[in-house]
């Protein structure tokens, strides 16, 4: 199964083919480098390497006008005019959850294909998805038409579920940030949810969101007392994940509105992030209001 737009399919295929190589390339790259990413976080060797692999390959695709990464301070001009309707912008978190490398736990790659110059609103996405480096390497791709989950092997995609949707009955939840740093209103909401659902939290956005897609429920990384702007990046994490979950029949929110409706001010802008079953996100927004 391929994506109908040839440029988007080329991006998806490139990321899919690169995933096996990236996963294998994590071996021997579990250390850190003496640099920080634009968000002020220590970079793992694997962060830098995965960004180089994906950046070089995606920038070479005809029809891609911009490449941006959580690991780079600025947008890379790929040659096409990003204002042209024929040129897409691709934003990537090359290795989400790279802090899990040391403990050898789940991580992944997140991407979004925007029909607009970056930074852009999430509602300009034409496709988004992620690769999950779990016991099995899987890939979830959302377009305006559908959400599809694949297994990846040798760079090839095998469909395991078409028209992926969130289960109607929620089962799991996960919330990031230190509990003492949660605002009072979010703590009130969390106390209700934890009495109803099962905790699933692994410290990598991709793994936690995939639990929600599989079992139904909610994941959130809220605004914190020490960081009211949130922790996760809108362009690289919030918008793509919000797009996937909304296309799968759920909701996304920054606490007051859909992540896809947020007007960005900067490439590395942060945001609170909440995704999941409609009713749970409705309750969240009602509590925070």
The annotated binding site for substrate is made up of 96-99, 201, 231
Three-state SS string over 186-199 comes to HHHHHHHHHCCCEE
Query: Which is nearest to 33 in space by CA: 55, 50, 57?
Result: 50
Annotated binding site: 70, 93, 95-99, 201, 231, 237
Question: Could you check whether the bond before residue 119 is cis, i.e. omega within 30 degrees of 0?
Answer: yes
End-to-end Cα spacing for the chain: 43
Contact 53, 20 (CB under 8 A): no
Tell me the binding residues for Mg(2+): 70, 93, 95-96, 237
Tell me whether residue 196 is exposed, middle or buried, using C-beta atoms within 10 angstroms of its C-beta: 0 to 12, 13 to 18, 19 or more: exposed
Residue 69's alpha-carbon distances to 21, 151, 231, in angstroms, are 18, 24, 16
């Amino acid at each position: 199964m391929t994506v109908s737009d040839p440029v988007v399919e080329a991006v998806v295929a490139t990321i899919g083919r690169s995933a096996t190589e990236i996963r294998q390339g994590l071996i021997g790259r579990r250390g850190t480098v003496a640099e920080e990413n634009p968000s002020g976080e220590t970079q793992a060797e694997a962060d830098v390497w995965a960004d180089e692999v994906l950046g070089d390959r995606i920038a070479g695709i005809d029809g891609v006008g911009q490449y941006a990464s959580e690991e780079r301070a600025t947008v890379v001009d790929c040659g096409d005019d990003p204002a042209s309707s024929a040129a897409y912008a691709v934003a990537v978190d090359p290795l989400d959850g790279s802090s899990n490398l040391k403990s050898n736990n789940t991580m992944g790659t997140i991407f979004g294909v925007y029909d607009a110059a970056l930074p852009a609103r999430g509602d300009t996405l034409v496709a988004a998805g992620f690769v999950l480096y779990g016991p099995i390497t899987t890939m979830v791709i959302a377009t305006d038409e559908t959400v599809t989950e694949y297994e990846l092997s040798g760079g090839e995609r095998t469909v395991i579920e078409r028209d992926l949707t969130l289960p109607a009955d929620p089962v799991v939840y996960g919330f990031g940030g230190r509990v003492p740093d949660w605002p009072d209103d979010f703590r009130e909401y969390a106390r209700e949810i934890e009495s109803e659902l099962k905790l699933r939290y692994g410290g990598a956005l991709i793994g936690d969101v995939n639990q929600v897609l599989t079992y139904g429920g909610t994941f959130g990384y809220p605004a914190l007392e020490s960081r009211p702007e949130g922790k996760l990046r809108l362009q690289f994490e919030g918008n793509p994940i919000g797009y996937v979950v909304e296309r799968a029949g759920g909701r996304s929110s920054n606490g007051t509105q859909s992540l896809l409706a947020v007007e960005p001010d900067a490439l590395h802008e942060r945001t609170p992030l909440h995704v999941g079953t409609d009713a749970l996100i409705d309750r969240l927004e009602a509590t925070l209001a």
